Each structure stands twice: as structure tokens, then as C-alpha cells.
Amino acid sequence: MSDFTGLGINESLSTGLDKAGITTPTGIQAEVIPLALSGRDVIGQSATGTGKTLAYLLPLLQKIDAAKRETQAIILAPTHELAMQIYRQIETLAENAGLPVTAAPIIGQVNIARQIDMLKGKPHIIVGSGGRILELIQKRKINAQTIRTIIIDEADRLLDDMNWPTVKAVVKATMRDRQMLLFSATITPAALARAKELMRDPEFIVLKGQTDIPADISHMYFVCEQREKIEVLRKLAAHLNVEQALVFVNHSETIETTVMKLTYHGLTAAGISGTAVKADRQKALEDFRHGKVRFLIASDLAARGLDIPGVAHIFNLELAEDPQIYLHRVGRTGRAGRSGTAISIVTGKEAALLVKFAKVLKIAAAEKRLLRGRVVDSTPQRPGSK
């Protein structure tokens, strides 16, 4: 049985987690789940990739009264991509646990009439952007008076000067006895002050990020010009006999163009974007799992919750934005005792940043180059000196 039962998570959800291969809670989950189940307001701060989403979704799903046809929770996210990812995770958790909990993504720049139709079904949980959710509350298409829980993901962004008025208006539209949970990798003093303005005696949980990387992952990087990156990837795939690989980029807008470029070079590729419809995302994942495509292109947000066993290579076509994100990416290889290789294709400027990441994470990242079809150590030079 899952270790989550010791935190108060019920048997249905624990069984659902077992199906997904999740048995041991992370630090943030162990701290937050009992507090959330008890009804406390919580501010949770921990690094990217430490499991904050499950820390709030598990107690939320357990507390939803599925017998009532009413919306009971709102989850606010700063991007459409993250909102869709959270929505999919709710769907997966509910399905694995056999829970009749329903959810709906409500995001901007999408047909509002279709969303209004969706809301007629009274989904238990609404996930989305503050602006569109506020608009639908004002149109009385969302009954804010039945909302018992509000969760704010990436609170630093949602409590900044631009988003604060909208978030505050959404929260103020709900009942005073609501429960609020806020999560972020970093929380500024200004965001913390605003959070406390909305919350009732919140418990503040701060955890340092996990920085242990499996020892059987080797890290290397190749320096080139930005315009040469796809060509370097193509050559490395051939010379290293890469059967399949995850390729990371930083933004969802880059995914489609990367797929097109690789396809042009005769390499089979599919992309997963957080904003893609479920069927398209599912097809891309299935094609990759069954070996129909060689490369799966993803952003960090789109890759959340991905667990694809047997991936031996991870490519960073764009360098991660901080060490914890790099850690989260490379942790998708070298699983279950297998060895893995993390390869970053970087510009000179990115190389200097990668060296800093390596020091923070206490890993050895070797600069390499291709020489007559072989990968060899690069001649000594200071990374970034191009």
C-alpha cells in the first residue's frame, strides 16, 4: 500500500497513485497534505519538479463531495498550458482512483459559448485563467457561492501587479469560509503580503529543492550557433545511435516549429503541448511509446506528469531556465537502475550558464564535439568563449 495512506489519503486515491507508480510522497506533499485535509490555509514553497501539484490535488479530490452537482473548487494558473496540464492530471487521478469527480478547463482566448455549455454540467473543479473565470462569475455562469476551495498555482506570477486585481476579485466573490492554498517555487515579500490579505492564518511551508541526480546519468554539452542546433541534433542522433529521445524546449510555441524542422531532416518527431487537445496529446505519446516516432518534443510544463520508461537520451535543445528545471528534465532518463545520457545543445552564452548549473547540482557536465563521426572531448576552452 502507498505511503500516502499515512498522510490521510484514502484507499481509492492511494490505489490510483499505485497504478501510476507513485508510492512515496515528496517533502512538500508530506508537509502539505495533512494540513490541507484538516482545512488549514497553506502557502507552499518548493522548487520546480518537487510535486507541488499532487500536494494540493490529492487532498482536494478527497474533499470533493461528488454527490453534489455544484462547483466546489477553483484552481488558478498563470498560463493556458499549465491550466490544461493540471486539468489533465485531475482527469487521470480521478480515473485511476475510480472517483466520479468532474473538472473543466476555463481559459481565455477560447470560445466562451462552449465554456458556458460546459459549465451547465456543474463540474466539481474549474481550472483556468483568472480573467475568464472572473468574467463568467460576473455573468453568473459560475456560482462563486458554492466554492469551498481556491488554489493558486505559481502564486508569484498570479499575485504580481498585473494579475493581482483579477485574482483578488475572484477570491472576494467567494464565501469567507473558503480554504485557500497557494504554491510557488519562489515567493516574494510583496506576493506573501498579498496572499496573507486573502487568507486565514496560513501555514507557511518552505522546502529546499531536491538536488540529487541519479549517478548513472552522464551529462554532456555541445556548443554551436543557435541556427546550427537542429543540424547538431540530427548528427548526434545518427552518431550516438539514438533510438528514441525526449527533446526539451522552453516554450510551447517552439514545439511545432521544432517538429517541422526535424521532419524536414527526415527524423520522425511528435510534439506535446499543454494547450493541445487530449486526443492529439494522447496520440503523440502513444506514437512515441510504440516507437512510431523517434523524438518527442516538449516544454517543461507540457512534460509534467510524463513517465515514459526506457528513454535513454534527453536532449536540451534550449537550456532550462534554472538548475531545478534542468534536474527535472534529466530525471526522465536513468530510471529504474538504467543508465541515461543528458545532452545539451547550447550557444556559448548558454554553455556558461550550464557550467553554473553543474556547480549548483554538483554534477560533471563535459563539453564534447563531433570529430569525423565520433564524439570526443572538446579542446579545453572556457565555456562561452566563442
pLDDT digits over 234-286, tens only? Answer: 999 999 989 999 999 988 888 999 999 999 999 999 998 766 666 787 788 88
Q: Among all chains, which residue has been given the C-alpha cell 540530427? A: 234
pTM over 0.75: no
Instruction: Pick the closest to residue 339 from 160, 214, 180 (CA basis).
Output: 214
In three-state form (DSSP H/G/I as H, E/B as E, the rest C), the secondary structure along the chain is: CCHHHHHCCCHHHHHHHHHCCCCCCCHHHHHHHHHHHCCCCEEEECCCCCCHHHHHHHHHHHHCCCCCCCCCEEEECCCHHHHHHHHHHHHHHHHHHCCCCCEEEECCCCCHHHHHHHHCCCCCEEEECHHHHHHHHHCCCCCHHHCCEEEEECHHHHCCCCCHHHHHHHHHCCCCCCEEEEEECCCCHHHHHHHHHHCCCCEEEECCCCCCCCCCEEEEEEECCHHHHHHHHHHHHHHCCCCCEEEECCCHHHHHHHHHHHHHCCCCEEEECCCCCHHHHHHHHHHHHCCCCCEEEECCCCCCCCCCCCCCEEEECCCCCCHHHHHHHHCCCCCCCCCEEEEEEECHHHHHHHHHHHHHHCCCEEEEEEECCEEEECCCCCCCCC
* Nearest-5° Cα angle at 234, 231 to 237: 150
Supply the pLDDT for residue 275: 64
pLDDT digits over 292-323, tens only? Answer: 999 999 987 667 656 676 688 999 999 988 88
Instruction: Pick the closest to residue 126 from 78, 86, 66, 181 (CA basis).
Output: 86
Whether 384 shows a pLDDT value over 50: the answer reads: no
pLDDT band for position 380 (50/70/90)?
Answer: low
The packing angle between helices 52-63 and 80-97, to 10°, is 50
d(CA 7, CA 177): 24
Supply the pLDDT for residue 385: 42
Mean pLDDT taken over the chain: 88
pLDDT digits over 313-352, tens only? Answer: 999 999 988 887 788 788 777 655 567 899 999 999 999 9
pLDDT band for position 24 (50/70/90)?
Answer: confident
Whether 120 shows a pLDDT value over 50: the answer reads: yes
Q: What are the grid coordinates assigned to 79, written together?
A: 498560463
Whether 215 shows a pLDDT value over 70: the answer reads: no
Contact 281, 268 (CB under 8 A): no
Q: Which residues contact 351 (CB under 8 A, 6 or more apart)?
A: 221, 223, 367, 383, 384
pLDDT band for position 48 (50/70/90)?
Answer: low
pLDDT band for position 383 (50/70/90)?
Answer: very low
pLDDT digits over 78-107, tens only? Answer: 888 788 889 989 999 999 999 999 999 999
Contact 92, 58 (CB under 8 A): no
Average pLDDT of the residues in 373-382: 72
